[in-house]
Amino acid sequence: MRQIVLGKSGLSVPTIAVGCMRINGLGEKEAADFVQTAIENGANFFDHADIYGRGECEKIFAKAVGMCPSVREKILLQSKCGIVPGKMFDFSKEHILNSVDGILQRLNTEYLDVLLLHRPDALVEPEEVAEAFSVLKQAGKVRHFGVSNQNPMQMQLLEKYMRMPIVANQLQLSITNATMITSGINVNMENASAVNRDGGVLDFCRLNDITIQPWSPFQYGFFEGVFIGSDKYPELNAKLTEIAQKYNVSETTIVMAWLLRHPAKFMPITGTMNKQRLLDCIRASEITLSREEWYEIYKSAGNKLP
């Protein structure tokens, strides 16, 4: 699979990451087979979070991959913390340190390649975050740090106190949820698409070498459903099928190829636990859509050019 460099980390990673949020829906043998399929096809970067399955997803993954030193050196692990389900967001030093210890125990590993802060905490004290990151870095528990769902000012506030760069920002992005792209196209226009809802996070990340990791690349709305095959998007699906047939691949591959075509060098997070769909996602790294095809897909989802 094609590789990119993750932000300023110097870490070479596959251009597609394997999301493990739903791995607790697989049986033991299915999980092992799925993880092995990913690794064998170059998708060795796995994305977790401490809230996925309330920690069970990390345990299931560790067992599925057969975690041991020889296996660990072949894979890259990322996890997230900061959400206390149903209660609050917590970026306190104590919570971050405790969360990482729990993550490492469940994943049966001594370190994470990347730790992301999950949803922004309104009560964040950036000095505490910086202290927590320094402790984790010095202890060898986390090698690189990033965020999820943060705007430019929030990242700048953190980096004011941090000794290490933010290497990634995980953000919702798909053909149907492309506001960060659309607002840039509609600059200075008097329409709803011109509204800058995220502080220019796309350009900020590109300027500061922060890799954007699109989550829910196949979803419309906020987990409202998958747009492939949905009767809500007939024009989009017709266009996806047309281009998929041209390249002799699936619509899933073309959706991923659409994200990978962007020069920001996105690193999409898959969510599927279906081996064939995972392989279809991986195959997207072999395809480069033309500029015309990219815009045709963009417009077919209802996005308009000014």
- DSSP E strand boundaries for 76-156: 76-81, 83-84, 88-89, 112-117, 142-148
Residue among 52, 220, 233, 298 flagged as catalytic: 52
Contact 220, 255 (CB under 8 A): no
Beta pairing class for 17-19 and 269-270: parallel
- Structure tokens, 304: 């308009």
Nearest residue to 161 via CA among 230, 93, 97, 246: 93
Distances 245 to 48, 249, 296 between C-alpha atoms, Å: 33, 6, 15
Q: How many helices (H) and strands (E) does the chain have?
A: 12, 14
For residue 23, which amino acid is it? I
Concerning whether 298 is annotated as a catalytic residue, the answer is no
- DSSP E strand boundaries for the chain: 3-5, 12-14, 17-19, 45-47, 76-81, 83-84, 88-89, 112-117, 142-148, 166-172, 211-215, 219-220, 225-226, 269-270
| CA gap 196, 172 in Å, rounded | 15
Alpha-carbon dihedral 173, 204, 147, 220, rounded to 10 degrees: -10
Residues in the chain: 306
- Structure tokens, 238: 């017709």
What amino acid positions are annotated as catalytic residues? Answer: 52
